[in-house]
Amino acid sequence: MLPLISETAAAIFTMGQYVDSPKRVSSLTWGAEDLGAAVGASANTLPNKDWTAPYQMTRSLCLFAAHAAQVQAIDTVMADFRDLDQLRLVCDDARRDGFTGKICIHPAQVDVINEAFSPSLEELSHAKAVIEAFKDNPEAGTLQIDGKDDR
């Protein structure tokens, strides 16, 4: 199950309850469109297409609720399915912030989303190096790999 946890103003105050989610809940996501309608917003994005403050907060609360519940955090749709350049930007932002995926509203968005949330060859190589380093040093709590600390 992938609950959409922000469809109403009241829902914002219940996001923390998903910490005790049943095992069948695999992910949590949020929605800006219905929430905007529920509160009578005239817009939910700024001219540069960033979320306005209430929707940034909702997005963040969803991210933390998902991680607290130990399930996948899935970012909401980008309604403008024709703007694939902006979609790449918002996917990169979502992944950077800790989201593990994004809902799409149109098939044209699938490839961009899949690419953005798939690890690069460099990331895979680094992950393998971290695993090997800890395998070789099982008592270590922190190791330095390529000049960086890994835990």
Number of domains in the chain: 2
Q: To which residue do tokens 């005790």 refer?
A: 20
Residue pLDDT, tens place only, 92-125? 999 999 999 999 999 999 999 999 999 999 989 9
Residues, the chain? 151
Percentage above 90 pLDDT, the chain: 78
Q: Which of 86, 116, 100 is nearest to 26 (CA)?
A: 100
Helices (H), the chain: 9-12, 33-39, 53-68, 84-97, 110-116, 121-136
Residues 123 and 66 in one domain: no
Please indicate, yes or no, if residue 3 is contained in any of the structural domains. Answer: no
Q: Is residue 138 located within the same domain as residue 114?
A: no
At 51 the pLDDT is 94
127 and 95 belong to one structural domain: no
Domain range enclosing 134: 119-151
Q: How far apart are CA 89 and CA 140, in angstroms?
A: 37
Q: What share of the chain is helix, strand, coil (3-state, %, to 5)?
A: 50, 10, 40
Q: What is the mean pLDDT of the chain?
A: 93
Reported as a single tens digit per residue, the pLDDT across 30-50 is 999 999 999 999 999 999 889
Confidence grade of residue 151 (pLDDT, cut at 50, 70, 90): low
Per-residue buried b or exposed e for 123-146, using 16+ beta carbons within 10 Å of the residue's own CB: eeebeeebeeebeeeeeeeeeeee
Same domain, 58 and 109: yes
Whether residue 61 sits in one domain with residue 123: no
Q: What is the pTM of this model?
A: 0.85
- 90 vs 20, more confident: 90
In a shared domain, residues 108 and 124: no
Q: Report if residue 97 sits inside a domain.
A: yes
Q: Give the C-alpha separation, 59 to 32, whole Å.
A: 9
Structure token pair of residue 14: 């219940």
pLDDT tens profile 4-27: 999 999 999 999 999 988 789 999
| Residue 80 counted as domain residue | yes
Question: Residue 150 has what pLDDT?
Answer: 58
